[in-house]
């Protein structure tokens, strides 16, 4: 799902460095939940641009539709109703891949080049290299990738890497009627977020802030939240996401060490043979057995 | 073919077939599993027709292995009960490795090392089977924390099992006259007397 012209910074299951002569600016999408009206224009634009159509589902009683990310719905709006100081608040969050700087999906992926991270920060799946094992789901701290039942490939938001490669903003950003979605360099997006946060604080949301979680090295999709101290309010946005320690053990130094240990066992056996020679039945025992048999 | 009518029967044909089904499954599982284990081994997927095929086949071969191991487990577990003598043997394994096995405690059909291997394999295969099912996204979809735990246990027990199997294979090559027991079922009397004196006595009555 990606344009090769973008510079690749990180490649799944690859132990040698990727080309690094050029560097590009880091990009980011900023989602200002305080100005989102939940119209789902972004959801529709995502389907439209990427040519994906989910099955027509049924109404679950709330606005969430579809109710979860799927291989054909790379972004969904999540609506939560909470009570704050006796007032109802309707918190709407556009969910999808966060394009982590330290992506758990890429770390977990066993197939070389099935997941790449571009120099601009976008994390992209190359479905032609995907083997369908689902390790990306196991690695992701945000529960984002989905495996298609039809082709057993993993899918998720591409941050419109194909559009970004030719200097266009993502389709969702283009479609947003209120300006709740912004796209640009990560620096600019952080600056813009500070303006929004200052405005929110003035209006009484003194805990307003930017969601750019350091546990995954920051993300290339960031939120402006009115309650940045409690991101879980927004349909379970994780408080301090990071690659699970279990995934770190599973995919960390233990693997090459175990491979080395296996190599040593094999080599050790070979040299044991060379040094000690085979363990053969001794002539003495053979003679004893013959004597016994004769008796 | 009977080479020498005095040779001792160690394995029946069905035990040997059972063993080799496990052996084949193990090799296929280790090769395809290692491919996902570390990028250095990913090229092994081409033995299976590519990454997708390796991913599809591995768990099914695993199920065959689990079933065939269960059969061999039922056949051999009584013969593999660990006794004091086995622990003694294991404590003195260094002498054995030096090729100086004449003073080792006398062994029955299986020595302490073989018995230990049997139980390690049993535990590893049990763990690999349970965690393998948990990782199997084609059929199951469990909470992500469980899948993460399963991934750690599956890869750790696979590494242990592969290491023990290397030693198992090497021991069979090192101790001359052993491999034929698994090919055509018999061993020589001298082999039995040297390596499994107690078993030799039971069978031969001397
Ligand atoms: C007993 C039944 C088994 C089942 C159901 C099973 C299933 C699985 C599954 C589903 C995976 C994930 C990749 C995929 O989807 O194909 C996997 C990975 C793996 N399996 Fe198995 N497996 C079994 C036995 C074994 C055995 C006996 C070995 C070792 C000889 C083994 C070694 C591995 C390794 C090394 C991995 C990669 C783990 C990683 O990525 O860290 N498996 N297995
Ligand atoms: S949110 Fe999940 S899928 Fe997206 S980059 Fe991070 S780890 Fe990968």
Confidence band for A203, pLDDT divided at 50, 70 and 90 = very high
Element (H, E) at B27: helix B13-37
Q: Provide the number of CB pairs (under 8 Å) joining chain A to chain B.
A: 127
Cα dihedral A127, A129, A130, A135, rounded to 10, equals: -130
Pocket probe mutation, ligand 1, options B27, B31, B34, B36, max atoms within 8 Å of Cβ = B36
pLDDT of residue B99: 80
Q: Which of residues 153-192 of B touch A (CB under 8 A)?
A: 155-156, 159, 162-163, 166-167, 170, 173-177, 188-191
Confidence check: pLDDT of B95 > 60: yes
Q: What is the mean pLDDT of residues A46-72?
A: 95
CA gap B83, B200 in Å, rounded: 18
Q: Would you call B67 an interface residue with chain A, using a CB distance cutoff of 8 Å? A: no
Cα dihedral A275, A276, A278, A283, rounded to 10, equals: 140
Confidence check: pLDDT of B2 > 70: no
Confidence check: pLDDT of A4 > 70: no
Regarding beta strands A181-185 and A27-32, do their DSSP bridges make them parallel or antiparallel, or are they unpaired? antiparallel
Between the CA of B33 and the centroid of ligand 1 the distance, in Å, is 5
Q: What is the mean pLDDT of residues A39-49?
A: 97
Regarding beta strands B186-187 and B8-9, do their DSSP bridges make them parallel or antiparallel, or are they unpaired? antiparallel
Element (H, E) at B119: helix B112-135
Confidence check: pLDDT of A2 > 70: no
Taking only the tens place, the pLDDT of each residue in B36-88 is 999 999 999 999 999 999 999 999 999 999 999 999 999 999 999 999 999 99
The verdict on the CB of residue B165 being under 6 Å from ligand 1 is: no
Element (H, E) at B104: none
List b or e across A192-224, with b for residues whose CB sees 16 or more CB atoms inside 10 angstroms. bbeebbeebeeeebeebbbbbbeebebbbbbbb
Confidence check: pLDDT of B206 > 80: no
Residue B195 among the catalytic residues: no
User: DSSP assignment of B38-99, as one string?
Assistant: -GGGGGGGGGGTSHHHHHHHHHHHHHHHHHHHHHHHHHHTGGG---HHHHHHHHTHHHHHTT
Confidence check: pLDDT of B28 > 50: yes
Q: What is the mean pLDDT of residues A84-96?
A: 94
Which chain A residues are closer than 8 Å to B170 by Cβ?
269, 272-273
CA gap A208, A202 in Å, rounded: 10
User: How far is CA B67 from each of CA A295, B28, B61, B82, B118, rounded to the nearest angstrom?
Assistant: 46, 15, 10, 24, 16
Taking only the tens place, the pLDDT of each residue in B128-165 is 999 999 999 999 999 999 999 999 999 999 999 999 99
Look at the domain B9-204 and name its fold: Fumarate Reductase Cytochrome B subunit (1.20.950)
Taking only the tens place, the pLDDT of each residue in A209-245 is 999 999 999 999 999 999 999 999 999 999 999 999 9
- Please provide the average confidence, as pLDDT, over all residues in chain B: 95
Task: Decide if A112 contacts A13 (C-beta within 8 A).
Answer: yes
pLDDT of residue B145: 97
Task: Decide if A107 contacts A245 (C-beta within 8 A).
Answer: no
Which chain A residues are closer than 8 Å to B54 by Cβ?
131
pLDDT of residue B205: 83
The verdict on the CB of residue B158 being under 6 Å from ligand 1 is: yes
List the structure tokens of A194: 């500070």
Residue of A229, A220, A189, A224 whose CA lies nearest to A93: A224
Confidence check: pLDDT of A1 > 50: no
HEC profile for chain A? CCCCCCCEEEECCCCCCCCCCCCCCCEEEEEEHHHCCCCCHHHHHHHHHHCCCCCCCCCCCCCCCCCCCECCECCEEEEEEEEECCEEEEEEEEECCCCECCCHHHHHCCCCCCEEEECCCCEEECHHHCCCCCHHHHHCCCCCCEECCCCCCEECCCCCHHHHCCCCCCHHHHHCCCCCEEEEEHHHHHHHHHHHHHHHHHCCCCCCEEECCHHHCCECEEEEECCCCCHHHCCCCCCCCCCCHHHHHHHCCHHHHHHHHHHHHHHHHHHHHHHHCCECCCHHHHHHHHHHHHC
pLDDT of residue A5: 53
- Please provide the average confidence, as pLDDT, over all residues in chain A: 94
Query: Domain segments of chain B: what residues?
Result: 9-204
Q: Please judge whether B99 and A281 are an interchain contact, meaning their C-beta atoms are less than 8 angstroms apart.
A: no
pLDDT of residue B165: 98
Which chain B residues are closer than 8 Å to A146 by Cβ?
none
pLDDT of residue B1: 54
Percent of chain B past pLDDT 90, that is, above it, reads 90
The verdict on the CB of residue A142 being under 6 Å from ligand 2 is: yes
Confidence check: pLDDT of B3 > 80: no
The verdict on the CB of residue A252 being under 6 Å from ligand 1 is: no
CA gap A135, A106 in Å, rounded: 9
R_g of chain B computed on alpha carbons: 19
Confidence band for A293, pLDDT divided at 50, 70 and 90 = confident
Confidence check: pLDDT of A75 > 90: yes
Q: Please judge whether B38 and A259 are an interchain contact, meaning their C-beta atoms are less than 8 angstroms apart.
A: yes
Taking only the tens place, the pLDDT of each residue in A105-150 is 999 999 999 999 999 999 999 999 999 999 999 999 999 999 999 9
Confidence check: pLDDT of A21 > 90: no
């Amino acid at each position: 799902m990606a344009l090769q012209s973008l510079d690749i910074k990180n490649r799944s299951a690859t132990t040698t460095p990727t080309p690094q002569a050029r560097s590009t600016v880091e990009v980011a999408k900023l989602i200002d939940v305080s100005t989102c009206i939940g119209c789902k224009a972004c959801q529709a634009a995502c389907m439209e641009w990427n040519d994906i159509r989910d099955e027509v589902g049924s109404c679950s009683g709330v606005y969430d539709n579809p109710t979860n990310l799927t291989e054909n719905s790379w972004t969904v709006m999540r609506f939560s109703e909470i009570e704050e100081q006796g007032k109802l608040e309707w918190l709407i969050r556009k969910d999808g891949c966060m394009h982590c700087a330290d992506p758990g999906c890429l770390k977990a992926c066993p197939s070389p080049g099935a997941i790449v991270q571009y120099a601009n920060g976008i994390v992209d799946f190359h479905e032609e290299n995907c083997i369908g094992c689902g390790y990306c789901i196991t690695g992701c701290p945000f529960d984002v990738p989905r495996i298609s039942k039809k082709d057993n490939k993993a899918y998720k938001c591409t941050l419109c890497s194909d559009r970004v490669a030719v200097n266009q903003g993502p389709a969702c950003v283009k479609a947003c009627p209120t300006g709740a979605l912004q796209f640009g360099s990560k620096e600019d997006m952080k600056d813009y977020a500070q303006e929004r946060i200052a405005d929110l604080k003035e209006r009484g949301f003194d805990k307003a802030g930017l969601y750019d979680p350091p546990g995954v090295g920051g993300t290339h999709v960031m939120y402006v939240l009115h309650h940045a101290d409690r991101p879980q309010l927004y349909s379970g946005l994780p408080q301090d996401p990071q690659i699970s320690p279990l995934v770190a053990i599973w995919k960390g130094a233990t693997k090459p060490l175990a491979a080395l240990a296996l190599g040593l066992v094999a080599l050790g056996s070979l040299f044991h043979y060379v040094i000690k020679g085979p363990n053969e039945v001794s002539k003495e025992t053979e003679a004893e057995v013959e004597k016994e048999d004769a008796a | 073919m009977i080479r020498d009518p005095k040779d001792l029967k160690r394995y029946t044909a069905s035990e040997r077939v059972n063993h080799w089904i496990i052996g084949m499954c193990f090799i296929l599982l280790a090769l395809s599993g290692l491919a996902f284990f570390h990028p250095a081994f990913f090229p092994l997927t081409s033995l299976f027709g590519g990454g997708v095929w390796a991913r599809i086949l591995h768990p099914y071969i695993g199920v065959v292995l689990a079933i065939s191991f269960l059969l061999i487990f039922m056949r051999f577990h009584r013969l593999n009960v660990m006794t004091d003598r086995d622990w003694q043997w294991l404590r003195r394994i260094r002498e054995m490795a030096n090729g100086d096995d004449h003073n080792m405690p006398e062994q029955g059909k299986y020595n302490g090392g073989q018995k230990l291997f049997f139980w390690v394999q049993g535990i590893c295969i049990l763990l690999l089977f349970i965690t393998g099912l948990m990782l199997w996204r084609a059929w199951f979809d469990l909470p992500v924390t469980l899948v993460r735990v399963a991934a750690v246990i599956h890869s750790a027990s696979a590494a242990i099992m592969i290491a023990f199997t290397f030693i198992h294979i090497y021991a069979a090559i090192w101790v001359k006259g052993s491999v034929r027991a698994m090919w055509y079922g018999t061993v020589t009397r001298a082999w039995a007397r040297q390596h499994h004196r107690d078993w030799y006595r039971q069978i031969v009555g001397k």
